[in-house]
Copies of this chain bind each other. A is one copy, B any other.
Amino acid sequence: MSKEITARAEDYSKWYNDLVLKGGLADYSAVRGCMVIKPYGFALWEGMRDVLDRMFKETGHQNAYFPLFIPKSFLSKEASHVEGFAKECAVVTHYRLKNDPNGGGVIVDPEAKLEEELIVRPTSETIIWNTYKDWIQSYRDLPLLINQWANVVRWEMRTRLFLRTAEFLWQEGHTAHATAEEAIAETKQMLEVYADFAENYMAVPVVRGVKSPAERFAGAVDTYCIEALMQDGKALQAGTSHFLGQNFAKAFEVQFSNKENKLDYVWATSWGVSTRLIGALIMAHSDDDGLILPPRIAPLQVVIVPIYKGEEQKAKIDEKVHAIMADLKKAGIRVKYDDSDNARPGWKFAEYEMKGVPVRIALGARDLENNVAEVARRDTKEKSSLSLDGLAERIGALLEEIQQQMFNKAKTYRDEHITPANTMEEFEHLLDTKGGFIAAHWDGTTETEEEIKERTKATIRCIPLNNKQEAGTCILTGKPSTQRVLFARAY
């Protein structure tokens, strides 16, 4: 092995960090809570971004870009919004440095104090709705369907690479509509886009649901979410889509004249996913030997490693590999030939296992004689000897098979980890022994939710869409309930 990875069973959290750091995805930075996304990690994000961006455009959205800074007063205009974000804001107060006349080096110039402090955006509803005010006059200006790819900052006290960082990259959609129905339909549509992406590209099965009031986005009427399950039995919120009602339109005075020529406030949605998805991807699939990336978003899908003695063998392999590469590329497969001579094949094998490349092809002199190559899958570690004839087609099919099996495996695990509990005792026992989602009756109050959280560290992840209705009693208070909701400990 090229690099030691902590085993999941030994220390799950350390295993995760090892994968991120040694897999070349990200690094710590000199700025508290901020990370550096390394080239391999960024290539992964670019791939995810490109798929999502296409999905957004196919559903009629356009990209735009709004300022990084938000005047402090804007944040305060929507009451619950400021309450949600005030505690973790990076605040710009000055606009100049100068040399300390007392020899203290470079200092903030006290004369360059801003009249109004600027907040580094934690999310952009306020600055965007302040802009929409100028863009929307009539129903003809609606719907306004805009997305932004941006960095945002939330000054978290406890950070984890990708999962929770002070600065992170994300996209935030902000749409404006003439009716509540249309806005709700948009909210649900974008949730479905996220679920499609998570399941069909990341191979991560998700529960689609609605948040309880306590877990709602600050300023939303309803927060829809997709919830994924990690291998340690903890849940991870992978994306949210908010129906904002007229809250931001009212806060920023955004009215339009409707078809009846009457003034009304505009209806809003916002929705976002972030680099946090990379954390979900890692924890859903990877193993003790490194990352396992689903083919559809793996930056590199196939790596070819030559096995040879001497330049003559090498030359013959090179020639064949170039033909194979051309075929693979023609089939749209992302492939790399690693013929660097500074590492032995075994070291390379371990390195690409670490990096989660879905398929490895090894080609030696003997293989060449037999017109075959050794093909190894990263996910199952199965190896097979495949004919060089029609190899590209076989590899293409194999990549699809891997994608499917990765999803199926994660789904089986997830489905086996949705367990009903009917008493608090059962609930706590399940949390401590099995983890996963616990389906339990809840009386619908925030007080109960908070007490359960206090006692067990589990929160309501969501009330699944199209949830089965059944009579029951709250596991904490015994009060009547009409449905089970999903609890879990979560990232």
Contact = CB atoms under 8 A, between A and B. Distances in A.
Interface of A: 27, 29-31, 34-39, 41-43, 45-46, 62-72, 74-76, 82, 86-99, 105-106, 108, 117-120, 127, 130-131, 134, 140, 146, 150-151, 153, 155, 167, 169, 342
Contacts of A120: 68, 92, 120
B92 A29 contact: no
Given A27-B134, A66-B29, A95-B155, A117 B108 contact: yes
25 contacts: A27-B134, A29-B67, A29-B131, A30-B127, A36-B66, A36-B67, A37-B64, A39-B64, A42-B63, A45-B65, A46-B63, A65-B169, A72-B108, A76-B105, A86-B96, A86-B99, A87-B98, A88-B95, A88-B96, A89-B95, A89-B97, A91-B93, A92-B93, A120-B120, A151-B151
- List of 3 A-B pairs having minimum Cβ-Cβ separation, nearest first: A39-B62, A34-B67, A86-B97
A69 B140 contact: no
Describe A's contact surface by its main secondary structure: mixed
A85 to B, nearest CB: 8
B342 A140 contact: yes
Output the residue of A27, A65, A106, A151 with the most chain B CB within 10 A: A65
Contacts of A75: 97, 106
Contacts of A105: 76
Contacts of A62: 39, 42-43
Contacts of A99: 86
Contact of A89 (B96, B117, B134): B96
Given A29-B131, A106-B75, A146 B39 contact: yes
A106 B119 CA distance: 12
B43 A63 contact: yes
A104 to B, nearest CB: 11
Given A29-B127, A95-B155, A97-B75, A69 B167 contact: yes
Given A30-B127, A70-B31, A74-B30, A65 B42 contact: yes
A98 B167 CA distance: 21
B97 A91 contact: yes
A89 to B, nearest CB: 5
Contact of A31 (B63, B71, B76, B150): B71
Contacts of A29: 66-67, 127, 131
Given A39-B146, A120-B92, A97 B72 contact: yes
Contact of A98 (B86, B94, B127, B130): B86
A62 B70 CA distance: 32
